[in-house]
Structure 1
Amino acid sequence: MATHSVDIFDKKDEIIISSAEEKKLLKKLDLRIIPLLTLLFTLNFLDRVNIGNARLAHLERDLNLTGVEFNWCLGIFFIGYVLFEVPSNILLVKIKPSIWISSLMVCWGIIMTSMAFVRNFSQLMGTRFILGVFESGLFPAIVFYITKWYKRSERSYRISLFFSGATIAGAFSGLLAFAIMNLDGKFGLSGWRWIFLIEGLATVIVSFFSYFLITDYAESASWLTEDERKLAVNRLLLDEGHGHTTRFDKFQIFQAFTDLKVYIFMFMYFCILVIMYSFSFFLPTIVNGLGFNPVISQLLSTPPFFLGCVTSITLAILADRHKVRSPYLISCLLAAIVGYALLVSGNSSIALKYSGACIVGLGTFACVPNLLAWTLNNLSGDLKRAVGCAMAISWGNLGGIVSAQLYRPNDAPTYKFGHSTALSLLIVAVILSIIQYYHLNRMNKYKLKDPVRFFKGINEEDAKNLGDLHPSCEWRREWCPNGALNGVNGAANGVNGAANGVNGAANEPMVLRMEQMELRMESMDTNFFELHYQFYSIS
């Protein structure tokens, strides 16, 4: 079993983080980690949605599928995906990412390749289900993997970069399908079979290289210097707070399954992913319904994904800079609402309806990185974060099953039922975002009111296992003065001056560690409450 520790290398060392050194480290991490993750997720998303392009290359005709049977082939993927997503992330905590991720890739690449040779509905259903099983682990694994390298205020931008792989896949899928359709009939294979064959083999090839290119954790990064490895570990330790633990404790699984905010995030993901998947699967069909031929429809399905990529990255940069998520998330949802309103309107021209599709792409894909960052920032403890994140994503992917049934053949060419359902789910997502904001705000006030209650009757190790319930787990600012950690709100930490009913001796090991984590600042007169001591990132 692989183990991973994030203890400070030398407890006697005083942690002083230089801004220049940290910027240099970030550039190095970004160049080494993000491009690889983006490539992996591009292949992952491409292999799940390319069936939409295969449809226009006569997959239904060759396999004698009805429209309903085709939709079931879309939906069966997500049954396998949802069933194995949480177990996959639990295994990720115990197995090295390089081994687990590359193993998943080679398996789904082989299945993708085999889909080029299916002959009937049953075979396509079976391969799509198994494809979902093996693809299920990559997305939550990458999201969790990012938390092992980047601080909370840095994650939204990085998540948007790797998630841009989805929009790249959507855009590239249309262009690639346009090119591959010219191979129709070569060596006796239809165009749609070439789509599955070429894209599946590409995944298998990349999977072998990924094993050697994925660095498991900062402590084992041979491409970092010793000082850079220490900096990479220590800056995350300071950012996470004392409630974060890397040990494999089943109590953290219990915490994840009993946390209300996790369930709110789950339903938010569900609403958004229903829309994202239905849009990705059926955009070529929707464009085709506007009156364009299949070849032109493949090409016109590219711009909405491109717009989604640009918007996703831009808003993620702004969200990280301002350290807020919900305003940008709600803005994206409102933009997508406008887009679907144009699509569902019977009075809109073809140009206006296509513009609506572009606006939907612009808004929908930009939602996911902000929502992922918001979720990750409010879960602490490796196992709780892995399980909670996988719960939210897996429940959201149930939306893939629903999405497969939204655009029914008998609703062509306007597809008002699908557009109207998507519009309704967007409104629900806006409401849930507002509810989550106020719920987290209420929880922060509860923790500030009496932080001592969380330490009663527990030792240091149990205190570490409190996860995001730990009163020190969420500092909104990167820097905090000596007094903030040692003198102010000492009641929560058992530090000198805490008095007021806390047994300092019982918490002595924790106190010593906090004293060793003091940071030097030029100005030491900052008031504790002016540091925005917010335990949950409410926005």
Structure 2
Amino acid sequence: MQSTQPPIDTASRRGSGTLHDDNKKDSTCIDNVSHAEAPVVMYDRQIESKIRMKIDLCIIPLAALIFLLCFIDRANIGNARLAGLEKDLNMAGYDFNSVNSVFYVSYMLFEIPATMLCKVIGPGWALPGMTIMFGLLTVASAYVNNYSQLAACRFFLGVFEAGIMPGLSYYLSRFYRHSELTFRLSLYIVMAPLSGAFGGLLASAILKLRGFGSRIPAGSWRAIFAVEGIATAVVGVAALALLADRPESARFLTPEEREIAVNRVKGERIGATVVLDKLSKDKILKGAISPVTAATSICFMFCALSIQGLVLFAPTIVRSIYPDATVTHQQLLTVPPYAFGAVCLLAVGFSSWKLNRRQIFMIAYDGSVRRSLLMASTSFILGPLCHAQASANVSSDSARNMSIGICMFFGNVGNLVSSWTFLPNDAPNYPIGCGLNLATSTIILLTATSAWFWMRWDNAKRDQKNTDAELAAIPPEEAQQLEWKHPAFRWLL
């Protein structure tokens, strides 16, 4: 496809040729650039809009569905608790808290390896495979008979769910520009608050079934695990056939559109010669120790503490407030906070796309809306902002994979702590859990604001240096490994 407006290029600074990435696909390479801003290849807006719309329609719905089922399969233990799980398995005291901790221990341990697996074998294979496995483990949870069996299922559920959220964020970063990514991440992360709303409705409907198999009677919590797990496994199988691994292999794009889709992303990557590079220890390390990765990871850790506390214990909190309501009514009362959070998430994601800003939204939103009574439900907003900011502030695919993985790892530290924020003895007001949610909001505000000032200061310091002179003294092979230390690199706010 030919653009009606010639691409803006810096031909004198570029080379041509073909290199092989880690997944053995061809990518056009460019030489290192010396400019403070990356020379972005611009095509006719209508052509870009058409390609972006195709990508939106063909990969976002499936990515969102995978994440919806992932979050439902993770959180449905709260709905099963209302339906009698603890009584049937002779659980008491802190058993419910500890069984959720088991899930997050494995989730944390396998977070980074699972994210790197997406890089090594490609997200088009890794994400469907993980989806099938955690769907089957959810089905297995329907047939447990004691605490130990449930804990084992939750442990392995964490193993296979560990790579889903960072893997999806990394996957979408292969297709979208920095400015576009936050909104696209919000389109799948919105499934988290919607899963709370939809999960309660779905659990209520499943409990009305007349039975599910010979061992699952009508109204049993076991049916929740069985039905939702089977649906997840089916979606995973479908994703194996439908999920495009990268723009170069997207069958829904023409060859010309694939080339434009690759060049759109490539033009923003300072010092990178290919969109999908081979794994590099130097790049992985720089992605892990980036100052922006550290700041966003801290923000996401405390954000996750609020989110997961809401997800796991919203049904329990509702039950303590409305003890005389029916189980179905209690399930439905968990819906409104999630619906509100979903609306806020999409609104902020869209604004971030149009303004090409992330850090300021982390500051502004956390300093205002999240100090209200609905701060837990609105904390979902920080998910796409943190992941997009971590993705935008590295150059190579390897560093991006690690940066998102580190961010998610710290998020799961918050998830683990959240398992112990709402304790049985604190009912019905839960002062510890509610107090921690307020404290997390304050810490996120201070961290995000400090990072914003530091990024502006460091960019100004870099602007004072002679970028061309510094690059001239660096061998090209070494320059490709510099990442955010590259003389032309600037932090994106």
C-alpha distance in structure 2 between counterparts of 1:454 and 1:384, whole Å: 22
C-alpha distance in structure 1 between counterparts of 2:42 and 2:105, whole Å: 48
What whole-Å deviation, never above 9, does each CA across 1:372-395 have from its counterpart, x for those lacking one?
Answer: 212211122111110111011111
- By how many angstroms is 1:5 displaced? 4.5
Within-5 A mapping of 1:504-519 = none
- By how many angstroms is 1:67 displaced? 3.4
* Aligned position for 1:263: 294
* Aligned position for 2:438: 423
Matched, 1:468 2:489: no
Within-5 A mapping of 1:196-235 = 196-235=225-264
- By how many angstroms is 1:454 displaced? 5.2
Q: 1:274 aligns with which of 288, 305, 325?
A: 305
Decide whether the 8 Å contact of 2:78 with 2:315 is kept in 1.
yes
Q: Structure 1 stretch 305-314 or stretch 450-459: which is displaced more?
A: 450-459
Decide whether the 8 Å contact of 2:387 with 2:407 is kept in 1.
no
| AA aligned opposite 2:320 | G
Aligned residues: CA RMSD: 2.1
Q: Which runs of 5+ in 1 are unaligned?
A: 340-355, 474-534
Within-5 A mapping of 1:74-473 = 74-183=100-209, 187-189=214-216, 191-243=220-272, 245=274, 246-292=277-323, 293=325, 294-335=327-368, 337-339=370-372, 356=373, 359-450=374-465, 451=467, 455=471, 457-473=473-489
Decide whether the 8 Å contact of 1:335 with 1:363 is kept in 2.
no
Larger relative contact order (Cα-Cα within 8 Å, sequence gap ≥ 6): 2
> So what's the TM-score if we normalise by structure 2?
0.88
C-alpha distance in structure 1 between counterparts of 2:252 and 2:366, whole Å: 40
C-alpha distance in structure 2 between counterparts of 1:5 and 1:224, whole Å: 16
Decide whether the 8 Å contact of 2:297 with 2:406 is kept in 1.
yes
What whole-Å deviation, never above 9, does each CA across 1:408-429 have from its counterpart, x for those lacking one?
Answer: 0011111111101111111111
C-alpha distance in structure 1 between counterparts of 2:309 and 2:400, whole Å: 28
- By how many angstroms is 1:241 displaced? 3.1
Aligned length: 456
What whole-Å deviation, never above 9, does each CA across 1:60-87 have from its counterpart, x for those lacking one?
Answer: 1100111301101111111111111111
- By how many angstroms is 1:257 displaced? 3.2
* Aligned position for 2:75: 49
What whole-Å deviation, never above 9, does each CA across 1:114-133 have from its counterpart, x for those lacking one?
Answer: 00011111111111011000
- By how many angstroms is 1:471 displaced? 3.3
C-alpha distance in structure 2 between counterparts of 1:42 and 1:60, whole Å: 25
C-alpha distance in structure 2 between counterparts of 1:96 and 1:370, whole Å: 24
C-alpha distance in structure 2 between counterparts of 1:336 and 1:416, whole Å: 20
What whole-Å deviation, never above 9, does each CA across 1:229-287 have from its counterpart, x for those lacking one?
Answer: 11101111112233465232111122123323222222111100000000111111112
C-alpha distance in structure 1 between counterparts of 2:458 and 2:25, whole Å: 31
C-alpha distance in structure 1 between counterparts of 2:307 and 2:210, whole Å: 29
Distance verdict in 2 for CA 1:182–1:108, change over 3 Å: same
Decide whether the 8 Å contact of 2:310 with 2:377 is kept in 1.
no
Q: Secondary structure at the match of 1:310?
A: helix
C-alpha distance in structure 2 between counterparts of 1:453 and 1:42, whole Å: 50
Whichever of the two has the greater Rg, that structure is 1
Distance verdict in 2 for CA 1:388–1:4, change over 3 Å: farther
Q: Secondary structure at the match of 1:6?
A: strand
* Aligned position for 2:85: 59
What whole-Å deviation, never above 9, does each CA across 1:467-512 have from its counterpart, x for those lacking one?
Answer: 2322334xxxxxxxxxxxxxxxxxxxxxxxxxxxxxxxxxxxxxxx
Decide whether the 8 Å contact of 2:360 with 2:452 is kept in 1.
no
- By how many angstroms is 1:288 displaced? 1.8
Distance verdict in 2 for CA 1:421–1:68, change over 3 Å: same
Distance verdict in 2 for CA 1:337–1:101, change over 3 Å: closer
C-alpha distance in structure 1 between counterparts of 2:468 and 2:399, whole Å: 22
C-alpha distance in structure 2 between counterparts of 1:298 and 1:67, whole Å: 22
* Aligned position for 2:94: 68
Q: Which runs of 5+ in 2 are unaligned?
A: 1-21, 31-39
Q: Structure 1 stretch 430-439 or stretch 361-370: which is displaced more?
A: 361-370
C-alpha distance in structure 1 between counterparts of 2:65 and 2:433, whole Å: 31
| AA aligned opposite 1:284 | P
- By how many angstroms is 1:109 displaced? 1.1
| AA aligned opposite 2:304 | L
Decide whether the 8 Å contact of 1:89 with 1:386 is kept in 2.
yes
Q: Secondary structure at the match of 1:67?
A: coil
| AA aligned opposite 2:46 | A
> So what's the TM-score if we normalise by structure 1?
0.81
C-alpha distance in structure 1 between counterparts of 2:272 and 2:286, whole Å: 13
Q: Secondary structure at the match of 1:368?
A: helix
C-alpha distance in structure 2 between counterparts of 1:22 and 1:2, whole Å: 26
Distance verdict in 2 for CA 1:411–1:15, change over 3 Å: closer
Decide whether the 8 Å contact of 1:168 with 1:305 is kept in 2.
yes
Distance verdict in 2 for CA 1:397–1:23, change over 3 Å: same
C-alpha distance in structure 2 between counterparts of 1:227 and 1:179, whole Å: 47
C-alpha distance in structure 2 between counterparts of 1:127 and 1:362, whole Å: 28
Decide whether the 8 Å contact of 1:106 with 1:203 is kept in 2.
yes
Decide whether the 8 Å contact of 1:332 with 1:363 is kept in 2.
no
Distance verdict in 2 for CA 1:175–1:67, change over 3 Å: farther
- By how many angstroms is 1:452 displaced? 5.1
Residue identity over aligned pairs, in percent, reads: 31
